[in-house]
């Protein structure tokens, strides 16, 4: 028995539905992987399932393209973005969770997250243009902060809400200042939450195309922009595109797997429960 329904028919239908969903999700990955190990001469042939696997595409991308540089850019940008987000977001999230007078702030944070990039990109672009920071990592980090900071802060509020208030009261009775209580006692308690929020922010930054497309050039190009460059479907390029896609996707899937439980808890704790 896979699904706990009393009725046999519903059990069968439920199981089937889940199988179909799994196949629909996995098939594209599977096909892309097959494409990545097809010899380039067979690229883009939907009728070919059996062939001698070849790592030529992988070799090309790893040793003979800009993709490693793009990966480095993406990684560096995402990392710095997350560090800044956590440094600014954690104390504020703690304040929003603990002190009165910040009820509205929670929703402002959510509203900030909802701000369409269209309205921010124009001024950011002009500003960075004037400062001659187009095609610099600093510029992209600035842009990515606009959507990573609010998300990270929002999740952290939920995690701080779950820590009993007695904990810092105890620390203060033990002779710590409020601020010491925060970073010596509370921060270590929410470390898993910090990690989860940080990883989520990292994934968001890693995945962004819109800002990176407009703010990067040859030097600072990120992986999604590079992938977008495989736009033309010349048969020979298909395998390489598949490799680049897999390289962008695999680390993110591993990271996100590690935080799923926290995400579910984080959402459950952010005031959407009964």
Partner 1 sequence: MRYPLIITNAAQMHIKYKLILPLVFLLSGIMLYPFIFSLWLSLQDYRLTRINDVQFVGFENFGFIATDQSFLNAMGNTISFVASAVIFELILGLSLALLIQKLVIFKGLVRSILLAPMFITPIAVGLMFRFLLNSEIGIIPFYLLRVGVSLDWFGPELALFSIVLIDVWQWTPFMLLMFLAGLEALPKTPFEAARVDGAGRWLTFFSITLPMLRPVIVVALIIRALDAFKVFEYVFAITRGGPGNSTETIMYYIYQTGFRFFRMGEAAAASILLIIFILVFVILIVNLSRPKVIK
Q: Which of residues 61-120 bind partner 1 (CB under 8 A)?
A: 84, 87-89, 91-92, 94-96, 98-99, 101-102, 105, 112, 114-120
Question: What is the longest distance spanned by two Cα atoms in the chain?
Answer: 73
Helix axes 117-130, 137-161, angle to 10 degrees: 140
- What is the per-residue binding string for partner 1 in 143-182, x denoting contact by CB under 8 A? x-xx--xx--x------------------------xx--x
Nearer Cβ to partner 1 (19/55): 19
Contact between 223 and 248 (Cβ < 8 Å): yes
**Which range touches partner 1 (CB under 8 A), out of 61-69, 123-131, 161-169, 190-198?**
123-131
Nearer Cβ to partner 1 (33/69): 33
**Which range touches partner 1 (CB under 8 A), out of 75-83, 132-140, 188-196, 250-258?**
250-258
What are the structure tokens assigned to 100, written together? 């009165």
> Please, what is the minimum distance in Å from the beta carbon of residue 175 to partner 1?
17
Give the Å distances, CA to CA, from 11 to 2, 6, 23, 248: 8, 7, 18, 37
The CB density around residue 67, as the number of other CB atoms within 10 Å, is: 21
28 binds partner 1 (CB under 8 A): yes
SS3 for 65?
coil
9 binds partner 1 (CB under 8 A): no
């Amino acid at each position: 028995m896979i699904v706990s329904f009393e009725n046999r028919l519903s059990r069968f239908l439920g199981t089937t539905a889940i199988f179909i969903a799994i196949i629909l999700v996995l098939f594209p990955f599977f096909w892309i992987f097959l494409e990545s190990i097809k010899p380039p001469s067979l690229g883009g042939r939907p009728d070919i399932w059996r062939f001698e696997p070849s790592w030529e595409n992988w070799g090309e991308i790893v040793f003979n393209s800009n993709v490693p540089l793009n990966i480095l850019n993406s990684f560096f940008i995402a990392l710095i973005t997350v560090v800044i987000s956590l440094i600014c977001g954690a104390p504020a999230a703690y304040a929003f969770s603990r002190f009165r007078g910040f009820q509205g702030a929670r929703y402002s944070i959510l509203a900030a997250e909802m701000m369409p990039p269209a309205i921010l990109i124009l001024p950011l672009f002009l500003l960075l243009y004037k400062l001659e920071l187009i095609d610099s990592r600093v510029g992209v980090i600035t842009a990515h902060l606009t959507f990573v900071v609010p998300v990270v802060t929002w999740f952290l509020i939920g995690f701080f809400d779950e820590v009993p208030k007695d904990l810092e009261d105890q620390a203060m009775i033990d002779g710590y200042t409020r601020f010491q209580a925060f970073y010596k006692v509370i921060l270590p308690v929410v470390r898993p939450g910090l990690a989860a929020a940080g990883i989520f922010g990292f994934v968001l930054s890693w995945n962004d195309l819109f800002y990176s497309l407009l703010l990067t050039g040859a030097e600072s190009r990120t992986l999604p922009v590079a992938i977008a460059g495989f736009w033309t479907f010349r048969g020979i390029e298909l395998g390489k595109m598949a490799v680049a896609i897999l390289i962008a996707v695999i680390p993110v899937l591993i990271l996100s797997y590690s935080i799923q439980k926290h995400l579910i808890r984080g959402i459950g704790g952010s005031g959407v429960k009964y």
